[in-house]
Amino acid sequence: MDESNDEARRKDWTFQLNPPTIVCLFYLMTWFAGVTAIVGVILAYVFRRTESEESWERSHYDFHIRTFWMAAFGLSACIAGFFAMIFGVPDPDSDDWRLLAGMVACFGVGLLLVLLLLVRCAFALINAQRALPMPNPRTWWV
């Protein structure tokens, strides 16, 4: 067997704990620990201000900061819409279909937001492990 091929394969499959990966892991830990995304975005702002010898990292920090604010505004809109539906109906005991439709819409938007954030984190994590810049860090999609 060729040792250079084995070394290249090992290098491709090792986990690199670089700063963009750390920020992404804090975002993913939010699903289990609550507020770690706040720590992640603070780290992204701090890492973005420091001079790095890796040019690909800056695009990741922009992408992570955009991801955080997208999640914060989306979650706020879902929560506001949910409470508007609950407190906006004069009689909560009535069979008002608007209340149910509003709750389903808020839940659907929230579910789509969760899926979008998971895909963005996975995409950023894969690119960070390969030391590749984010193709379009200022996008609202992936």
Residue 68 placed within a domain: yes
Buried-state track 56-77, b at ≥16 Cβ within 10 A, e below 16: bbbbbbbbbbbbbebbeebeee
Distance CA 12, CA 98 (A): 53
Residue 136 placed within a domain: no
Residue 135 placed within a domain: no
Residue 23 placed within a domain: yes
Distance CA 40, CA 26 (A): 5
Residue 105 placed within a domain: yes
Per-residue pLDDT for the chain (142 aa), expressed as one digit of tens each? 445 543 454 466 788 899 999 999 999 999 899 899 999 999 999 999 998 778 899 999 999 999 999 999 999 998 888 888 777 766 656 667 777 777 888 889 999 999 999 999 999 999 999 999 999 999 988 8
Could you tell me the residue range of the domain that residue 20 belongs to? 3-129
- pLDDT digits 0-9 by tens, 91-123: 656 667 777 777 888 889 999 999 999 999 999
- Fill in the DSSP letter of residue 53: S
The tally of domains found in the chain comes to 1
Distance CA 33, CA 124 (A): 20
Contacts of 108 (CB under 8 A, 6+ apart): none
Residue 139 placed within a domain: no
Q: How many CB atoms lie within 10 A of CB 121?
A: 21
Task: Indicate the pTM of the whole model.
Answer: 0.83
Distance CA 134, CA 6 (A): 28
Q: Are the C-beta atoms of residues 67 and 117 closer than 8 Å to each other?
A: yes
Residue 19 placed within a domain: yes
Residue 138 placed within a domain: no
